[in-house]
Structure formats: C-alpha cells, structure tokens
Amino acid sequence: MTIDGVDPNALRADGGRDMSTETAGERTLRVLIEAEEFADYGGWLLDSQFELQMGSPYLLAHGLGRPVDDAVTTVDLAESGSYTVWVRAKDWVPSHSPGRFQVSVGGVRLDSELGANGQDWGWQELGQVELAAGPTEIRLHDLTGFDGRCDAVYLSADGSAPVDGAGEHAIAWRRRLRGLPAEPVDGGEFDVVVVGGGIAGCAATLTAARIGSRVALIQDRPFLGGNASKEIGLSPRGESGDLIREIADRTVDGDLSAQAVLDAEPNVTLLLEHRIYAVATDGRRLTSVDARATRTGIETRFRAPVFIDCSGSATLGQLAGAELLSGQEARAEYDEPRAPDERDGMHHGNTLFFRTRVADEPSEFPAVPWATEVSKDYANLSGQLLQPGVENAPGPKPGQPADADPVFDFNDAAPGENPLMSFPATHFWEYGQWLDLQRDAEHIRDHLLRALYGTFSNVKRLDPEHYANLELDWIAHVAAQGEFVRYRGEHVLTENDIRDHTEFHDAVVRNDGAFCLHYPHQPAESDYDFRLKDWVWDSRDHKPYAIPFRCLLSASFDNLMMAGKHISVTHIAGSSVKFMGNGGQHGAAVGIAAHLCAEHGTDPRGIYDGHLGQLQQLASEMTGCGHLHLPEPPPSARQVAERHAEAVVAGDHDTAEGDFYGNALVAFTDEGGTLPTDAVGYELVGERNDVTWNEFVIRYDTPGDAVDITTRWHLLVGEWRLTEASR
C-alpha cells in the first residue's frame, strides 16, 4: 500500500482540520496558502528537499531559462475585505536576482517582483487588494525561467504579519492556520520502520516483508531509488545479484521497478513524500519517529521495536544523538595507506546531472552574468546523463562540431594532470566537500546550477558556428547526494579490512568495487570549485570483501541498524562501500535481522549474540548475490567438502589447509588431528546439517587402515568455510 502525503484513516470527518486552536478571526481574516497545496503547479516543480532548513516545501520555476507556465489555485474567502498580500520567497543570487516572479490575487497582478529583494528566505509585503467573499484565484507568474521560488502566500484582513523562519514557532503558526492537529496522528506500530527509500531501503523493506514482517518504508521524495531514482539517474554499482536487479530494473520512462515490486507486497506500507523531523527515545532505544507529509503538512507518528536508517545521511542518528563519524581520518588512526597525514573535515560533495540537445533551429539563451561569476571561462559540457542509468557521456565543447561523436582520450589530460581527469565523468561536477551537506544543501545545489548555466552559456558564446542550435534539455533540480556523516558501529570497517579481505566471524554480506575517492580543490584554490581537482579509482584486487554485522549496528542505540553509505566505515573504506549495489546488500541483511528480532523476541544485539548463523544463511539465500569475478553459481557445501577431499588426495595440502577458517586448523591439530598424506582415494560416508552448518564424514583410503575425518562447514559471506574438524 502506497500513501502519498496523507493517511485517509487518520483524518476526521471534517478533513482532519483541528479548529479548536483557531479563533473565529483567524479562520476568516487570515488565510495561508502553502505553495505545495496549489491545485495546478503549471510548469513549476514542487521542491521539498530543504524543508527542515528553510521551513517548508516550495514551488520552483525550473525552466532552464524559459519562463514556465503559471501555477494556479483557488481559495474560498469567508469575508469580503481589504487583504494585505504577503509572499514568502528567496532571491537566490542577490546581486543579480535571476529568479523573479509576480503574483496575481483575485485577477489583480501585483506590481512587485518577488525574488528580487536581495534577501534569503523571508516574507515580502506586496500591498493590499480588495477581495470579495467566495472563490479567489491566485497565480504565480514566472518571469525568467531561472529557478524563482515561492514558499507560500498569506492574505491578512486584520493587519497581522506572517511568522517567518523554520523553527517550531513558525511551524506551529502554519499548523494553526492550516487547521492541522497540534500533535502527530497515530500511524500505527510495525515490526520494523525503514527510513529512506534508496536501493538500500528498498532492499531492507523487501527482504523483511517477504519473510513475514510488517514494514513501514518512509521516503521523503516522490520516487524510490535515491541517487538511482528517475529524479537523478545514477546506475547502482558494487555488488549486485537478483534482489538488486529486481529493484533497480528501469521502466520505459526511466523509473525504477522498486515501487511496483513493493506495492505487490501486502506486508509493506510505503509512505512517499514523508520527511522525518523528530525521533523519540527511551534510554538506548528508539521508540518512534515523526514524519511530515510534503503536500498536506499532516504529521504522523510511527512506532516499532526496530528501526533501520537507510537515509544515507544518518537522519535518525542525527535526530536521536547517536555517535557519528565525519571527515577524513588521519593515517595514524587506522594505519590506512590512502588516508591523509592529518584528519580534516573533507567529505564527498553533491552533483547535479544534466543533458543537452541540438535543436532543429537556432535557440537563444539569455546572458547569465550571475552564472558566469561561478563558471568563469569554463566551457566543456562533458559528463552528461544520456538517460537514467547511462551517465559519463561526453558533451559539447568549443571547436568540436555539434554533430560529432566525441570519444574521450586519456591523452587529452593536461601536462602533470591525472589522465583519469580527462574522462567525461558525471561526478566531476561536484561541490560542497568543505560544507555541511545538510545545512548548506540549497546553496550547494544553487552553486552547481550557476556553474552549469554559465558553462552552457560559454559554449554557445565561444562557438556560435557549431552551437547556435544547442539547448539545455534537462538539469536535475535534486542533487545526487555524496557521503557526509556516518554512524559509529560496533566495528569500523577500514581500508585495510577491504584490501586484506579480513575474515569476520559475523560477516553477513559481500561488497565489491574500487576505492572511488573524490578530491576537491581547497577553498579559494581554483576558479573552478565546482569541478573535482582529482579522482582516484583504485580497483584493488578486483575481489569482493566482507561486511560484518557489527558495521550495521549503531553503537549508541540497541534497536537501530543502518544500511548504505553511512554505515560504520572510515572515509577511505566508505569510498567503496558507498556504491548503491553494496548498500542493497546491507539493506537485505538488516531487513532479515529485523525479522529475526520479531521471530526471536530480541533486538539486533540479541541476533548477533544468539542467531548469527541463521542471519548469515538467510542473507546468502535472499541476496542472490553474484559477482563479476565469480560468474558461476557458488558451490554447495557438499561440493566444497568434496573439493577439499580431492585436494587432500592430490597432496595439495596448501589448498586443503586453506579451507580451514580462523583457528579451526590449529584446534584440529592441537587435538592430534592430521590430514592424511598418503590417501589414494576418498568416499563421502556420512552427512548431516542444521540451520547454519553442514557436516560431512569423509573416509580416506590409505595403504593402511581407512581414515575417517568429520568436517563441519559454515556459510560465511556467501562461501562455505571449514570451521571444525575431528578425526
């Protein structure tokens, strides 16, 4: 079941409006029209991603330089009168005011231009209009096509001014004028609540639901997939498998199949466009989360014994006060070869995806001095998204015909430059590495918009012969989110854990992929701060590595697990773990763990202590996890045991002893056990198994008496390992 913005069962017969806190005057003389409540957005887009920072979702005139169609709505006024009109807007480049618009109320187009007062978000008084009781039309008229933004319109007939800001006082004022309950409505209790509908969150939800748990998945966007969604379009990389492919298959319009897959699961309640804004705790336990619906403002409380954070930004941990990690660790902290000498606050930034096209006729693009202030003379539009799932495409640059089929060449790198930097990577358009990706999120997005608009203008201006017909086809208004803060778990995965393929007794899934490290310019170091300075793609040994369950458990809260790029890793390790396919594996593991918590009446720590083998077996079965370098299906326990016996008979004792996990070989020899060195054949004469292990009795033919050796095998990170032997 998908709920878009409102739970119909939570509303009363009066539509859910709680009038008890409103006076008669407020109900008739003060009218708040939230932008998200407009009946027709026209060409404007609903942008809710900065709600917690600036106070509310807003409408964005994202026309790529062409004014968009009007947004229109109608409000019923209870009384006739002279109403003062206020509009909450933002001048997003105060020195130039590119995002200007006007408002009409009751057929009267007010003279004032919004988004042109040199101010950040705030209310602007536009004057008074005489309005009759009854239906009154309100229109937003975009003037530029360059991202004007309107949060709300306020009509006041009693002289009252609106309340500004994003704090609780302003939120309470908005609730009251909208007639919303002062406290969250009850959204019910679930076996598990998953926050974040990216690949990791979808995998966690799907696995938990398919084995019987009731799951609420709370997603703040209108689409699932996170950085892979149709709003952004990045391809999931890292470890794949059947589960991830089922979620990440794309429809004709570029959307993921994830929503259709989850909608088919009766145990899933999917809440799109719901943003988490509060968390309740009791000691070391989370008890509930509160979410606000983007389009209606209705706030709902969801309860569960277990919570999974798949937001990618440690949302629950930040709200609950969990211990978090951030920035780059110094080399001495974990002895990581790629770590810097000194700890710093650098992290990965955000990226805007875009696409250009060549029209049939010449197209004009207005002068954008406010954009070239950022782009300077940069004039290379490589790094485009051709379509969702197809990124890293070359693009137009001066001197190159528009109809050319550009092919990148590593030899194009400037002298002394890393040849990789000539690759047309989408993620080279990146900014915010030295900023707070949440507090400064709107500024980061806007800086990238200016960089793209300015670069596009430069290409057209510098080569009008080839690019007179060049147009902007699409620029995402939602940025691909980079790594920012991470949880501290029971174990912090390091670069060395990945390189050395550390064997963890609690390994639950495999991850794969290179260390993908993005290095920005230092502040004020380069004119092109919107482009990466350097990129490291370190493929290691091309082999998968293990993720221990402890990296998925918050060290601060007993019933909080996490999946995705914010699990417990160092910055260097996280540059590989961050791939979305990898996050899907974490999600599957914690989704299974959440179900086992309900099954055994315990919390995730109890699963670690008492039911780890069951978790490992189910995780291996449900992820369907293949690997680029291991294309064949993984062998069964019996096949592995027989291969082990064949190695003994062949005298390949290095291989046979390498099958032992941890100190199992030492324990075997300490008890007087040895592998026969003179065996000429073998026979499997006994077999039994339990939930977490398989046991085989191998009889070796030797020149003397036959030798029976019993071997017990556990499934660890998708591989059968010999954990116990006796003779």
pLDDT, one tens digit per residue, over 246-274 is: 999 999 999 999 999 999 999 999 999 99
Cα-Cα-Cα-Cα torsion 39, 43, 48, 53, nearest 10 degrees, comes to -110
Same domain, 721 and 704: yes
Q: Which two tokens stand for residue 372?
A: 């070239």
Cα distance between residue 660 and residue 263, in whole Å: 44
Cα distance between residue 103 and residue 128, in whole Å: 12
pLDDT, one tens digit per residue, over 433-489 is: 999 999 999 999 999 999 999 999 999 999 999 999 999 999 999 999 999 999 999
Counting the structural domains of the chain, the total is 4
Q: What pTM was estimated for this model as a whole?
A: 0.84
Report, as an integer, the average pLDDT of 24-29. 64
CB 604 within 8 A of CB 553: yes
Asked whether residue 117 is domain-assigned, the answer is yes
Q: Which domain holds residue 30?
A: 20-182
Same domain, 712 and 600: no
Cα distance between residue 314 and residue 555, in whole Å: 13
Confidence of residue 404 (pLDDT cuts 50, 70, 90): confident
Confidence of residue 151 (pLDDT cuts 50, 70, 90): very high
Following DSSP, what letter does each residue of 631-644 receive, concatenated?
A: -SPPPPHHHHHHHH
Asked whether residue 524 is domain-assigned, the answer is no
Report the mean per-residue pLDDT for the chain: 92
Which of 475, 504, 528 lies at the terminal end of a domain, its last residue?
A: 475
Asked whether residue 252 is domain-assigned, the answer is yes
Report, as an integer, the average pLDDT of 363-385. 97
Cα distance between residue 663 and residue 655, in whole Å: 16
Report, as an integer, the average pLDDT of 676-683. 92
Same domain, 154 and 219: no
pLDDT, one tens digit per residue, over 194-252 is: 999 999 999 999 999 999 999 999 999 999 999 999 999 999 999 988 899 999 999 99
Question: In CATH, what number is assigned to the domain containing residue 144?
Answer: 2.60.120.260
Cα distance between residue 10 and residue 208, in whole Å: 25
Q: Which two tokens stand for residue 296?
A: 């209606």
Which of 182, 199, 234 lies at the terminal end of a domain, its last residue?
A: 182
Cα distance between residue 727 and residue 716, in whole Å: 24
Asked whether residue 3 is domain-assigned, the answer is no
What is the longest distance spanned by two Cα atoms in the chain?
A: 110
> What is the model's pLDDT at position 430?
97
> What is the model's pLDDT at position 237?
93
Same domain, 459 and 490: no
How far from chain centre, in Å, is Cα 16? 32
DSSP structure class, residue 458: H
> What is the model's pLDDT at position 15?
32
CB 164 within 8 A of CB 87: no
| Lowest mean pLDDT, pick from 410-424, 522-536, 563-577 | 410-424
Same domain, 90 and 136: yes
Asked whether residue 31 is domain-assigned, the answer is yes
Residue 411 scores a pLDDT above 80: no
Instruction: Give burial (CB, 10 Å; 0-12/13-18/19+) of 413.
Output: middle
> What is the model's pLDDT at position 401?
85
Report, as an integer, the average pLDDT of 642-670. 90
Cα distance between residue 94 and residue 697, in whole Å: 78
Residue 714 scores a pLDDT above 90: no
Report, as an integer, the average pLDDT of 2-11. 43
Q: Which two tokens stand for residue 278?
A: 């509060």
Same domain, 136 and 83: yes
Higher pLDDT, 11 or 179: 179
Beta bridge partners of 699: 683, 708
Question: In CATH, what number is assigned to the domain containing residue 687?
Answer: 3.10.450.50
Exposure class string for 82-91: b at 16+ Cβ within 10 A, else e: ebbbbbbbbb
* Residues written for the chain: 727
Same domain, 152 and 39: yes
CB 679 within 8 A of CB 701: yes
Cα distance between residue 145 and residue 434, in whole Å: 30
CB 289 within 8 A of CB 279: yes
Report, as an integer, the average pLDDT of 667-689. 91
> What is the model's pLDDT at position 720?
83
> What is the model's pLDDT at position 423?
86
Same domain, 500 and 592: yes
What is the percent of the chain with per-residue pLDDT over 90, rounded to a whole number? 84
Question: In CATH, what number is assigned to the domain containing residue 611?
Answer: 3.50.50.60
Following DSSP, what letter does each residue of 222-284 receive, concatenated?
A: SSSBGGGSTTT-PPP-SS--HHHHHHH-B-TTS-BSHHHHHHT-TTEEEEESEEEEEEEEETT
pLDDT, one tens digit per residue, over 36-94 is: 999 999 999 999 999 999 999 999 999 999 999 999 999 999 999 999 999 999 999 99
> What is the model's pLDDT at position 547?
96
Higher pLDDT, 415 or 543: 543
Which of 132, 151, 182 lies at the terminal end of a domain, its last residue?
A: 182
CB 688 within 8 A of CB 697: no
Asked whether residue 163 is domain-assigned, the answer is yes
Asked whether residue 630 is domain-assigned, the answer is no
> What is the model's pLDDT at position 66?
98
Same domain, 583 and 687: no
Confidence of residue 4 (pLDDT cuts 50, 70, 90): low
pLDDT, one tens digit per residue, over 521-564 is: 999 999 999 999 999 999 999 899 999 999 999 999 999 999 99
CA atoms within 13 A of residue 281's CA, in its CB half-sphere? 17
CB 20 within 8 A of CB 181: no
Asked whether residue 283 is domain-assigned, the answer is yes
Same domain, 54 and 147: yes
Same domain, 170 and 190: no
Same domain, 194 and 317: yes
Cα distance between residue 531 and residue 515, in whole Å: 19
